Structure 1
Amino acid sequence: MTAVNTVAIVGSGVAGLATGIQLAKAGVQVDLFEAKPELGTGGSGISLQGNALRVFDQLGAWDDIRAAGYAFEGLNLRAPGPGAPIVASLPDVKTGGPDYPSAMGMPRAELARILFEHAQRAGVRFHFGSRVTAITQTDEAVELVVDGTPAGTFDLVVGADGINSTVRELIGITTKPEPTGMGIWRTFVSRPAEVERSELYYGGPVYIAGYTPTGANSMYAFLVEKAQDRTAVDADEATRIMVEESRAYDGPWNSIRADLEGGAAANYTWFTKHIVDAPWNRGRVVVIGDAAHSCPPTIAQGAPQGLEDAAVLSELLVERDALDQELWDTFHARRIPRATAVVQASVQLGQWQIDGDRDADAGGLIFGIAQQMAVPA
């Protein structure tokens, strides 16, 4: 017996899809509502730490994801300037345990496609182009209203609808993402043969320049700068800015610039931070993933934390026989301290860069968080 029989999930990102897969596999009727007309296939690439890979295995999706991505161990640090010499090669903590690589890069669109297909096979019912406009609940059930029309009554509603979550607002949680002062340019390009792991450059005209391999022939690259209003920048200007800001970086950046000049798109977003204080639920409605917490990708734990939210919530809903306060207390005890530690560490690493703090122990902070993540959520 499960704690719920019917669940509505709002949002088709990794946290929503992972929750849907696990619950549907356990026999729960799952309806997933997505405001966009189709599954999101945009974006560049994504870095996934071992604790994310461990969750994919729990979902039954690990073999497909491993085949579609690029697994690697460790991290290179390069210096800006001529030749881009490697100044340090750092090992990674295997946050997923010995059975998984330390890290993996893959195209975001491929990750979305694989999880979507697994959710379909598990029996999740998808409703695209469906914007949630109201939520009403009693002690026993939740009614979801989509585009002004009742869409059904459920035992639980899971808001996995991103940093600007509608569900979070509808249930009265006022916490919202705040800018951290950094912005990031991203692009999706071909992978030079010499790039076999993530590499970062500190110094030069931007805070951080880097890239991560995502496949045999692909990788995504990024430049982290002081946050600026880039809303009026068109596609051609975006490419020009990324090319110019990267000229201080040699080595594989020469190939990246060639791809940008050949038509690779550049996109820009600001880093944000937030963490919803306990509780993440209001009655029978709960927020997870980016709806509950966001942070800069300085330690690549954004998606893994959303996946852990999904894994822990699904585990408790499947193992327990009642959606009661004990279940929520256990969920919050297992998730909020861990997610908070990640958000705080991610923000601190960025702030040290903004402040130009050369004495900060960035390596110690990253290693400490990785050791925490190595213990299953």
Structure 2
Amino acid sequence: MHGSTVPDLRSKNSQNSLSSGGAKRMTVSSVLVVGGGITGCVAAIALAQRGTEVVLVERSPQWFGVGHGITVQGNALKVFRDIGVLDPILEKGRGFDQVRMRLADGTDLANIDVARTGGADLPATMGALRSDIQNVLVAKIRELGVEVRLATELVGFETVDDRVRAELSDGRTEFYDVVVAADGIKSATRRQLGMPEDKQPSGMGIWRAVVGRTPEMSVSGLYYGGPAYKVGFTPISDELCYAYVLTEPERPDNGLSDAAEMRRLLDGYGGDVPHIRDQITEDTFLNFQPIEWLLVKGSWHRGRVIAIGDAVHACPPLIAQGAAQCAEDALLLADHLTREGDMEKLLTEFEERRRPRVELVVQASLQLVEWEVSPTPDADPGGVMERSLKALAEPA
């Protein structure tokens, strides 16, 4: 055990709301959220808006948006609207409704109207800088007065009756009604919960860059059949796009700089790709990483500690549903945690409602990866994306 102070963060009113058997509660009054990415931020915001006292711990010593571009679908935008952050996010991003599919030489294959998974009144898809979305969420958390502790991790926990004793890396030991682990695909909490699953390689890697775009690059573009598995881009503003190359999972040791390597991978493509390639210089900030995935088949919780988001279901980004599924998890969990009822039942009902949806996304994404790595004559990536998004247009 760390530390000697053991504060009870529940309010007096919430302690008095317990039923005679201690099994029911009007709402949880205190929640520890572990992880400050999209999942953790949405969970913290939604819980705070429902009157719950929230502490958010983030292992990074600095808390500001990082990363390259991101594509988010309408169901993510719906969550952002529900927690009151949609307008500033739309102001920073670029909404659109189509995906343009082409052969590597630029020949058109199909233009697909993207299903409006968030409803008819929201863009079907939006491109943005991941940092811009993160910064909007952080600002909302600050506005709500959520306590945030940086450079802090959850190192141990135990459910004791109707509370969780949480041991933190800053030496504190505190009690919460529930702990929500939103600490990503590398989640330490997942392992502590005893889940046997771990992140798995997909067989692909991804290069990312943010570059200028032409006015014609106003919707997502996908290029098939070239030297790489796939090249694509998503507009993220009136001037910029997020460009990427899906390739082998390991960065070759070929003596090339990152910029030269990405330009090499873009050789042999037509259409809009030469415009992207020409803008990549030695000063362009580039990122390469292998693409991994995860799907926890069993329970996501033990006692009053539950893992959500990428900690239990992380998908390759081929249908751009990662952020959306994480945000849906967080909002729905906040709703369940603030209902009256037995906590074990509430957490189980939450998982049962979410599991079919996230499994659909992970399996569809893995099917697309398989077709990218091993093309087959009957491959139908456009159809899989279209059918998956139409299914996700149903309420979460």
Question: What band does the TM-score fall into relative to the shorter chain?
Answer: over 0.9
How far did 1:191 drift?
2.1
Residue in structure 2 matched with residue 184 of structure 1 by the alignment: 206
Residue in structure 1 matched with residue 347 of structure 2 by the alignment: 328
Residue in structure 2 matched with residue 163 of structure 1 by the alignment: 185
The one of 35, 54, 69 equivalent to 1:11 is 35
Separation of aligned partners in 1, 2:29 and 2:372: 48
Separation of aligned partners in 1, 2:383 and 2:35: 35
How far did 1:53 drift?
0.6
Describe the shift of the 1:229–1:52 C-alpha distance in structure 2 as closer, same or farther (beyond 3 A): same
Separation of aligned partners in 2, 1:39 and 1:265: 20
Code of the residue aligned with 1:96 in structure 2: it is G
How far did 1:136 drift?
2.2
Separation of aligned partners in 1, 2:171 and 2:141: 25
Residue in structure 2 matched with residue 59 of structure 1 by the alignment: 83
Structure 1 runs of 4+ aligned residues shifted over 3 Å read: none
Q: Is 1:289 aligned to 2:313, yes or no?
A: no
Q: Is 1:69 aligned to 2:93, yes or no?
A: yes
The one of 237, 249, 262 equivalent to 1:227 is 249
Code of the residue aligned with 2:373 in structure 1: it is I
User: Do the aligned residues in 1 keep the contact of 2:195 with 2:298 (CA within 8 Å)?
Assistant: no
Describe the shift of the 1:233–1:44 C-alpha distance in structure 2 as closer, same or farther (beyond 3 A): farther
Q: Is 1:107 aligned to 2:126, yes or no?
A: no
For the residue of structure 1 that corresponds to 2:135, the secondary structure is: helix
Residue in structure 1 matched with residue 294 of structure 2 by the alignment: 274
Describe the shift of the 1:233–1:16 C-alpha distance in structure 2 as closer, same or farther (beyond 3 A): farther
How far did 1:142 drift?
1.1
How far did 1:39 drift?
1.6
Code of the residue aligned with 1:370 in structure 2: it is L
User: Do the aligned residues in 2 keep the contact of 1:42 with 1:108 (CA within 8 Å)?
Assistant: yes
For residues 161-213 of structure 1, the C-alpha deviation after alignment (integer angstroms, 9 at most, x for no partner) is: 11000111122222111001011111111222221010000011011100001
How far did 1:32 drift?
0.3
Separation of aligned partners in 2, 1:221 and 1:247: 14
For the residue of structure 2 that corresponds to 1:133, the secondary structure is: strand
Structure 1 segment 84-99 matched on structure 2, within 5 A: 84-99=106-121
Unaligned runs of 5+ residues in structure 1 are none
For the residue of structure 1 that corresponds to 2:348, the secondary structure is: helix
User: Do the aligned residues in 2 keep the contact of 1:185 with 1:266 (CA within 8 Å)?
Assistant: yes
Residue in structure 1 matched with residue 373 of structure 2 by the alignment: 354
User: Do the aligned residues in 1 keep the contact of 2:205 with 2:246 (CA within 8 Å)?
Assistant: yes
How far did 1:126 drift?
0.6
Separation of aligned partners in 1, 2:345 and 2:41: 25
Residue in structure 2 matched with residue 372 of structure 1 by the alignment: 391
Describe the shift of the 1:75–1:326 C-alpha distance in structure 2 as closer, same or farther (beyond 3 A): same
User: Do the aligned residues in 2 keep the contact of 1:139 with 1:283 (CA within 8 Å)?
Assistant: no
How far did 1:154 drift?
0.5
For residues 243-263 of structure 1, the C-alpha deviation after alignment (integer angstroms, 9 at most, x for no partner) is: 111011223222322221252
Residue in structure 2 matched with residue 317 of structure 1 by the alignment: 337
- Worse-superposed segment, 141-150 or 332-341: 141-150
Q: Is 1:45 aligned to 2:45, yes or no?
A: no
Separation of aligned partners in 2, 1:242 and 1:327: 48
Separation of aligned partners in 2, 1:124 and 1:2: 21
Describe the shift of the 1:293–1:199 C-alpha distance in structure 2 as closer, same or farther (beyond 3 A): same
User: Do the aligned residues in 2 keep the contact of 1:30 with 1:123 (CA within 8 Å)?
Assistant: no
For residues 17-64 of structure 1, the C-alpha deviation after alignment (integer angstroms, 9 at most, x for no partner) is: 000001001110000000001124321100001111111010111111
Code of the residue aligned with 1:26 in structure 2: it is R
User: Do the aligned residues in 2 keep the contact of 1:9 with 1:160 (CA within 8 Å)?
Assistant: yes
Separation of aligned partners in 2, 1:316 and 1:50: 22
Code of the residue aligned with 2:129 in structure 1: it is P
Separation of aligned partners in 2, 1:228 and 1:63: 39
The one of 181, 196, 199 equivalent to 2:221 is 199
Query: What number of residue pairs does the alignment pair up?
Result: 372
Separation of aligned partners in 1, 2:40 and 2:323: 11
Code of the residue aligned with 1:46 in structure 2: it is I
Separation of aligned partners in 2, 1:3 and 1:321: 6
Identity, % of aligned pairs? 35
Q: Considering only CA atoms, is the larger Rg found in Structure 1 or Structure 2? A: 2
For the residue of structure 2 that corresponds to 1:227, the secondary structure is: coil
Q: Is 1:242 aligned to 2:262, yes or no?
A: yes
For residues 295-352 of structure 1, the C-alpha deviation after alignment (integer angstroms, 9 at most, x for no partner) is: 111111111000110111011112x124523212210121011101110110011101
Residue in structure 2 matched with residue 342 of structure 1 by the alignment: 361
Separation of aligned partners in 2, 1:253 and 1:363: 20
Separation of aligned partners in 1, 2:199 and 2:123: 31
Residue in structure 1 matched with residue 50 of structure 2 by the alignment: 26
For the residue of structure 2 that corresponds to 1:105, the secondary structure is: strand
- Worse-superposed segment, 134-143 or 111-120: 134-143
Separation of aligned partners in 2, 1:106 and 1:75: 16
Code of the residue aligned with 1:348 in structure 2: it is Q
Separation of aligned partners in 1, 2:261 and 2:114: 32
How far did 1:103 drift?
0.3
TM-score by length of 2: 0.90
The one of 134, 138, 160 equivalent to 1:138 is 160
For residues 95-144 of structure 1, the C-alpha deviation after alignment (integer angstroms, 9 at most, x for no partner) is: 11101011000000000000111111122111011122212221221122
TM-score by length of 1: 0.95
Separation of aligned partners in 2, 1:40 and 1:72: 26
Separation of aligned partners in 2, 1:201 and 1:243: 15
Code of the residue aligned with 1:49 in structure 2: it is Q
